[in-house]
Amino acid sequence: MTLATLSQVLQPALAGRYAVAGLVTLGWEDMRAFVAAAEAEGCPVILQAGPSCRAHTPLPILGKMFRHLAEHASVPVVAHLDHGYTMQECREALDSGFTSLMFDGSRKPLAQNIDETAEIAAMAHAAGISCEGEIGFVGYAKGENSAGTDPDEAAKFARETGVDGMAISVGNVHLQQDKEGGLDIARIRAIEAVTTVPLVIHGGSGVPVAQRTELARGSNICKFNIGTELRMAFGDALRTAVNSDPSRFDRVTILKETHDPMVAATRRVLRAFMPE
């Protein structure tokens, strides 16, 4: 069994100067491919259940799926709640067998974000699992604008919440389909100067691959969340499978043909985070 907590994969990454991918799952086909890719590359992987995933599949089912994959994997697998917005949701994830809770209070005033994140971190740690928090709102492509992380606020947040990973807003945005942007290196360095907590980049699909590698090997960013990039790869594979024979209707047969392309796309993502 290789079920792991977030801290168990991020602390070695911090010491070894590499990053771990937090891969946003939507269903069995992609999460299975993500684990197969991690095994092929010999690296840990974080399976993430975000809001859209949870709207489609209940948390207790997702917990069993994640744990089943972890129990049969040859590499560490983290079962991670992504963007939990309430104590109730985080508690349900804990009760469903998740090994990491990400509470997102980034839209809230600093004091409220700290208090609520600290409460959830304490609950997680009491159960022997990990907690990620977010300071500085990360916006959405063609949607809400980001509010960059203030280094002094980040230091206070890390110190007073006890989180195992801290998501920051440094030019990253969710749901970005291209890689034409880039992260604010000066802001990252300023945050690193005031805390040793492993840092997390949400919206990693929009970060140029060369910069992902540079930061994985040369900063305290230990986790990059990747969702859009791999959802696009899945969509391409699914269209190819459907269009190859329009008369087919058995979805199991069709979905099986997404596996190998998804494994290949995921392996390319994972390689960018490897140590030198």
The Cα 207–Cα 99 span in angstroms is 27
Question: Per-residue pLDDT for 36 more than 90?
Answer: yes
With bands split at pLDDT 50, 70 and 90, how would you rate the model's confidence at 124?
very high
Best CATH choice for the domain 3-271 from the list 3.40.50.300, 3.30.930.10, 3.30.43.10, 3.20.20.70: 3.20.20.70
What is the predicted pLDDT for the residue at 206?
83
Name, in order, each residue with C-beta under 8 angstroms of 39's C-beta and a sequence gap of 6 or more. 73, 74, 75
With bands split at pLDDT 50, 70 and 90, how would you rate the model's confidence at 276?
confident
Question: Per-residue pLDDT for 118 more than 90?
Answer: yes
Candidate from 53-62, 82-91, 165-174, 222-231 with smallest mean pLDDT: 165-174
What is the predicted pLDDT for the residue at 180?
65
Phi first, then psi: give them for residue 182, nearest 5 degrees: 180, 155
DSSP H stretches of helix in 137-250: 151-161, 185-192, 209-218, 228-244
Written as one letter, the residue type at 118 is A
**Strands (E) located in 3-99:** 3-4, 20-25, 45-49, 77-84
80 or 246: which leads in pLDDT: 80
Question: Residues 177-216: pLDDT tens digits?
Answer: 556 667 889 999 999 999 999 999 998 888 999 999 999 9
DSSP H stretches of helix in 51-199: 51-56, 59-71, 87-95, 110-126, 151-161, 185-192
Integer CA distances (angstroms), 88 to 85, 99, 161, 231, in order: 9, 16, 18, 28
Record the tokens describing residue 251, joined without a space. 């979805």
What is the predicted pLDDT for the residue at 148?
84
What is the predicted pLDDT for the residue at 51?
94
Beta bridge partners of 114: none
What is the predicted pLDDT for the residue at 210?
92
The Cα 147–Cα 161 span in angstroms is 20
Is the backbone of residue 45 left (phi > 0), alpha (psi -120 to 50) or beta? beta
**CB-hemisphere CA count at 13 Å for 7?**
13
What is the predicted pLDDT for the residue at 144?
60
Q: What mean pLDDT do residues 144-161 have?
A: 88
Question: Per-residue pLDDT for 14 more than 80?
Answer: yes
Domain boundary assignment for the chain: 3-271
Q: Is 82 part of the annotated catalytic residue set? A: yes
The Cα 270–Cα 199 span in angstroms is 17
Percentage of the chain modeled with pLDDT above 90: 84
Question: Per-residue pLDDT for 1 more than 70?
Answer: no
Could you tell me if 46 and 78 are in contact, meaning their C-beta atoms sit under 8 angstroms apart?
yes
Q: What mean pLDDT do residues 128-148 have?
A: 80
Q: Which one of the listed residues 82, 104, 150, 164 is annotated catalytic? A: 82
